[in-house]
């Protein structure tokens, strides 16, 4: 059940990221996401391959109770510095998604940053 809840919340973010990718560089949206207790979501990486960013940037991984499941995405994810994946742990998070083209590769990334986090659950 927590795995489905976590996937539902991650899907909100990935759906928004995919829409921003279609719009191109300079788009942004802010919203809240709630990751259930004992769960986490990593955007832009696969389990045990955090060092393989940006090759795995178009994936995300949910972890619940030590079990990780990864999913492909249309968007490529990064942290605000455009130098690696982004993770969210349990709790309610206010996130900002924005798009930026990484100059070296010319690849469009959806940058995820927290604008505030509270109410850890």
| pLDDT tens digits, one per residue of 48-105 | 777 788 988 999 999 998 899 999 999 999 999 999 999 999 999 999 999 999 988 8
Which residues 6+ apart lie within 8 Å of 81 measured at CB?
A: none
Q: Provide the token pair at 121.
A: 């659950």
The first and second tokens of residue 47, run together, are: 């389990």
Euclidean distance between CA atoms 56 and 43, whole angstroms: 9
Mean pLDDT of the chain: 90
- Please report, for the chain, the start and end positions of each structural domain, with discontinuous segments joined by +: 2-118
Residues of the chain with pLDDT > 70: what percent?
Answer: 94
């Amino acid at each position: 059940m927590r795995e489905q809840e976590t996937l539902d919340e991650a899907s909100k973010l990935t759906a928004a990221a995919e829409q921003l990718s279609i719009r191109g560089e300079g788009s942004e949206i802010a919203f809240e996401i709630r990751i259930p207790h004992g769960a986490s979501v990593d955007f832009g990486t696969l389990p045990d391959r955090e060092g393989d960013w940006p090759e795995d940037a178009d994936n995300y991984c949910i972890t619940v109770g030590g079990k990780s499941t990864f999913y492909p995405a249309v968007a490529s994810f990064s942290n605000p510095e455009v130098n690696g994946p982004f993770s969210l742990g349990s709790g309610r998070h206010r996130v900002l998604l924005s798009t930026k083209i990484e100059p070296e590769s010319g690849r469009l990334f959806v940058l995820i940053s927290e604008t505030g986090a509270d109410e850890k659950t």
